[in-house]
Amino acid sequence: MKRVAVIGAGFGGLAAAAILAHRGYAVEVFEQQSGPGGKAGDLRIGGWRFDTGPSLFTMPAVFEKLFALAGGDLNAALTHEPMELITRYFWDDGTTLDAWQDPDRFAAEVETKLGDPAPAVKRYLKRAKKIYDTTADIFLYGNPWDPLNIVRTTGWRALAGLPFIAPFTTMDRFHRRYFKDERTIQLFDRYATYTGSDPYRAPATLAIIPHVEYAIGARNLRGGVTALVRAMHALAEKNGAIFHFNAPVEKILRKSDRAVGIVTGGADLLFDAVVSNADVTHTYLSLLQSESEAADRYQRFEPSVSGVVFYWAMRGTFPELTVNNIFFSADYRREFEEIFDRRRCGSAPTVYVNITSKFDPADAPTGGENWFVLVNAPYDDHQDWDIEVTRLRDTITAKVSRLIGRDIEPFIAHEQVRTPKILRELTNTNHGSIYGISSNDPMAAFRRQPVKCADHPGVFFCGGSAHPGGGMPLATLSGMMAADAVTRRMK
Ligand SMILES: Cc1cc2nc3c(=O)[nH]c(=O)nc-3n(C[C@H](O)[C@H](O)[C@H](O)COP(=O)(O)OP(=O)(O)OC[C@H]3O[C@@H](n4cnc5c(N)ncnc54)[C@H](O)[C@@H]3O)c2cc1C
């Protein structure tokens, strides 16, 4: 039986392990942390439960397909429900807006609250769908490096549609074609951050993200994102994958360029293939100690943004808030300049507050709420994070208190904080970035590491820093693609 080592039990690693074990390979997963999930961890503070990383669950069909391919059933394993209200937005001028999943209701809300006509919102979402329909099979589900494959899988019509995907204009400029009000533009610009990018530089092609959120759908996961991680872990184990936790991999063993196994705990273990769910840069430099051109290249690409997260165990409930809440900065352009050019957090940043106990009361004690509070942050470049955290805490509590009309500070019963440096130490991600390389230029999709390593036969990549990109569904897709690439090689 062919043996496959998987390094890392994030979404990509779990997906690859579940499928490969189902296909009959002897799969062993080596994870340096004490449990699965990677960036998507589970944190308990007293009676409060938090997802440490991702909160917004989209593209459920990706997970349904994964489970089906690996002999499971997602919908039997966990419960997820459509979100009627996706996000509540707050601006400094006192405006609030509810972004409903229903496009008519959402468009009407934009017209009433922000003044941009409802048909403009509908027109924009239609264009976003067109961009998605043109690009998804190439950039998300396919192989963007091979033009023949593009034509084979999507036909000439897809290529003909490429001029409509607006790769050479920025998201912000694209949104100005549809909307007049700065707040509407800011609302749609924000989707660039879902790939860790800057809307004033990232290509308008990223307008696929609002389509994914509004049309394909955002979902509430009962039990939190960690329930999905547990279900994927259980699926892989049921199929026979063996998990080793607290097992950092020190090296990928090479015979010349070819991978022949791994080193963990000082022991050499031989495998026929190695799937790395660890960050691409960490894999090339630390694990492969590769001298290849690719190893050099990935160090030079700009990493995506990171985040500073406060986990606040709140004693008290806040009916003014919903599950997802955004408190926008007054100067969005400046916020991104500060992050990308000055490598510091915004002086008056946009604040995201996610409260899962709103739909899953088990996540907080009665009369309490679990606040996951995130601000975008630059990747870790040896900033003094203690100073940043102290400053951010004051700024965030003042901003949220002002906009909801009551002082939140006395309600914070317990707190933990995670900085880009901590994320880097926990997961070996490049400079603590969340989404691999940034998508700040039109060629970014072509620069991502393909799942098959060209320089080191037997090595396969999956996860948010590899193709097709970051975020739970894309990292999972990359695990599925890596499983297929391993299967093809072993034939
Ligand atoms: C604060 C935050 C908010 C986010 N919000 C969202 C969201 O709302 N929606 C969304 O879809 N996505 C979101 N994301 C992104 C999402 O979490 C990631 O894209 C996804 O979880 C990445 O999965 P992955 O497969 O790349 O694995 P990772 O989570 O990166 O896991 C890789 C694993 O490899 C392990 N590893 C690394 N090196 C070694 C080694 N040498 N030996 C052994 N093990 C090793 C690590 O410990 C880790 O467990 C967010 C992330 C963060 C941090």
Q: What proportion of the chain, given as a percentage, has pLDDT over 90?
A: 83
d(Cα 304, Cα 282) in Å, to the nearest integer?
15
Angle formed at CA 130 by CA 129 and CA 136, multiple of 5 degrees:
80
Distance in Å, CA 122 to ligand 1 centroid: 34
Mean pLDDT of 77-84: 94
Q: Could you say which of 219, 234, 258 is where a domain stops?
A: 219
Cα 118 to Cα 98, 147, 174, 208, distances in angstroms: 14, 38, 17, 19
Atom of ligand 1 at shortest range from CA of 11: 25
In this structure, are 213 and 96 located in the same domain?
yes
**Same domain, yes or no: 95 and 183:** yes
Over residues 160-182, the mean pLDDT reads: 84
Tokens of 340: 């990308």
| pLDDT at 156 exceeding the cut of 90 | no
Is any ligand 1 atom within 6 A of the Cβ of residue 55?
A: yes
Distance CA 164, CA 251 (A): 45
pLDDT at 164: 65
Q: Flag the least confident range among 55-69, 85-99, 290-304, 357-371.
A: 290-304
Task: Please compute the mean of the pLDDT values over residues 453-472 and round it to a whole number.
Answer: 95
If asked whether residues 134 and 179 sit together in one domain, one would say yes
Collapsed DSSP state (helix, strand, coil) of residue 147: helix
- Band of pLDDT at residue 161, cut at 50, 70 and 90: low
| E runs forming strands in 204-272 | 218-221, 242-244, 249-255, 258-264, 267-270
Compute the distance from residue 164 Cα to the ligand 1 centre, in Å: 32
Domain that holds residue 102: 81-219
Q: Are residues 170 and 129 in the same domain?
A: yes
pLDDT at position 153 is 60
Burial class of 89 by CB neighbour count within 10 A (0 to 12, 13 to 18, 19+): buried
Residue 189: pLDDT above 80? yes
- Angstrom distance (rounded) from CA 139 to CA 445: 7
| Cross-strand pairs, 269 | 262
| Whole-angstrom distance, CA of residue 21 vs CA of residue 31 | 17
pLDDT mean across residues, the chain: 94
What is the model's pLDDT at position 133? 87
Q: Is the CB of 474 under 6 A from ligand 1?
A: no
* pLDDT score at 72: 98
CATH code of the domain in which 408 resides: 3.30.70
Is the peptide bond preceding residue 468 cis, with omega within 30 degrees of 0? yes
What local confidence, expressed as pLDDT, does residue 439 receive?
76
Residue 160 CA, ligand 1 centroid: distance in Å? 35
Higher pLDDT, 140 or 345: 345
Residue pointed to by tokens 């209701």: 105
pLDDT in tens, 344-401: 999 999 999 999 999 999 999 999 999 999 999 999 999 999 999 999 999 999 999 9
**If you compute the radius of gyration of the chain from its CA atoms, what whole number of angstroms results?**
22
CATH of residue 249's domain is 3.50.50.60
Q: Give the number of the atom of ligand 1 that is nearest the alpha carbon of residue 475.
A: 25
Residues 339 and 254 both lie in one domain: no
Q: What is the DSSP letter of 432?
A: G
- Give the integer Cα–Cα distance in Å for 361 and 79: 15
Alpha carbon distance 52, 458 (integer Å)? 33
Output DSSP code: residue 452.
B
Verify whether ligand 1 is closer than 6 Å to residue 278 (CB atom). yes
The pLDDT of residue 152 is: 63
Query: Is any atom of ligand 1 closer than 6 Å to the C-beta of 15?
Result: no
| Closest residue to atom 10 of ligand 1, CA basis | 471
Give pairs for 255-260: CB < 8 Å, separation 24+: 257/455, 257/456, 257/457, 258/456, 258/457, 258/458, 259/288, 259/456, 259/457, 259/458, 259/459, 260/458
Instruction: Give every CB contact of residue 281 below 8 A, 6+ residues apart in sequence.
Output: 298, 299, 430, 465
- 8 A C-beta contact, residue 435 and residue 333: no
**pLDDT tier for residue 447 given thresholds of 50, 70 and 90:** confident
Q: Give the number of domains in the chain.
A: 3
Q: Is the CB of 29 under 6 A from ligand 1?
A: no
Of the three residues 219, 251, 272, the one that is the final residue of a domain is 219
**Residue 94 shares a structural domain with residue 192:** yes
Q: Please report whether residue 46 resides in a domain.
A: no
Are residue 88 and residue 214 in the same domain, yes or no?
yes
CA–chain centroid gap for 13, Å, is 15
Rounded to an integer, what distance in angstroms lies between the CA atom of residue 298 and that of residue 281?
6
Residue 389 — φ and ψ, nearest 5°? Answer: -65, -45
In a domain, 192, yes or no: yes
Tell me the residue length of the chain: 491
Q: Does residue 66 lie in a domain region?
A: no
Task: Tell me the pLDDT band of 441, cut-offs 50, 70 and 90.
Answer: confident
Average pLDDT over residues 274-292: 95
Same domain, 127 and 9: no
**Among 50, 87, 194, 277, which is best to mutate for testing ligand 1, by the most ligand atoms less than 8 A from CB?**
277
Which pLDDT tens digit goes with each residue over 218-251?
Answer: 999 999 999 999 999 999 999 999 999 999 999 9
* 413 domain residue, yes or no: yes
Separation CA 464–CA 473 (nearest Å) = 9
Q: Assess whether 211 and 230 both reside in one domain.
A: no
- Same domain, yes or no: 85 and 205: yes
Q: 444: CA distance to ligand 1 center in Å?
A: 19
Specify which of 191-205, 432-446, 470-484 reaches the highest per-range mean pLDDT: 470-484
Same domain, 100 and 193: yes
* Residue at 297 is within a domain: yes
Is the CB of 374 inside a 6 Å radius of any atom of ligand 1? yes
Question: Ligand 1, atom 15: nearest CA belongs to which residue?
Answer: 471
Q: How does pLDDT run across 5-48, given as a tens digit for each residue?
A: 999 999 999 999 999 999 999 999 999 999 999 999 999 999 99
Kindly state whether residue 479 falls inside one of the protein's structural domains: yes
Q: SS3 of 239, please?
A: coil
The whole-angstrom distance between residue 327's C-alpha and the CA centroid of its chain comes to 20
Q: What pLDDT does 166 receive?
A: 63
414: β partners: 313
Q: What is the pLDDT of residue 230?
A: 98
At residue 358, the pLDDT reads: 97
Whether ligand 1 lies within 6 angstroms of the CB of 30 is answered as yes
* C-alpha–C-alpha distance, residues 449 and 288, integer Å: 15
The reported pLDDT for the residue numbered 50 is 98
**CA-CA distance, 34 to 9, in Å (whole number)?**
10
Report the candidate in 432, 322, 372 with the shortest Cα–Cα distance to residue 39: 432
Domain assignment of residue 67, yes or no: no
Residue that terminates a domain, selected from 219, 248, 270: 219
Pair 13, 99 in one domain: no
- Dist. CA 319–CA 404, nearest whole Å: 10
pTM as predicted: 0.95
Q: Mean pLDDT, to the nearest integer, of 288-313? A: 91
User: Is pLDDT above 70 for 155?
Assistant: no
With residue 279 as reference, give the H or E element that holds it.
Answer: none
Tell me, using a 6 A CB cutoff, whether residue 39 lines ligand 1. Answer: yes
Atom of ligand 1 nearest to the CA of 464: 26
The string of pLDDT tens digits covering residues 403-422 is: 999 999 999 999 999 999 99
Residue 154: predicted pLDDT = 59
Specify if 198 maps to a domain. Answer: yes
Give 463's Cβ-side CA count (13 Å radius): 33
Contact 38, 11 (CB under 8 A): yes
d(CA 110, CA 106): 6
CA–centroid distance, 40 to ligand 1, in Å, is 6
Residue 37's pLDDT is: 98
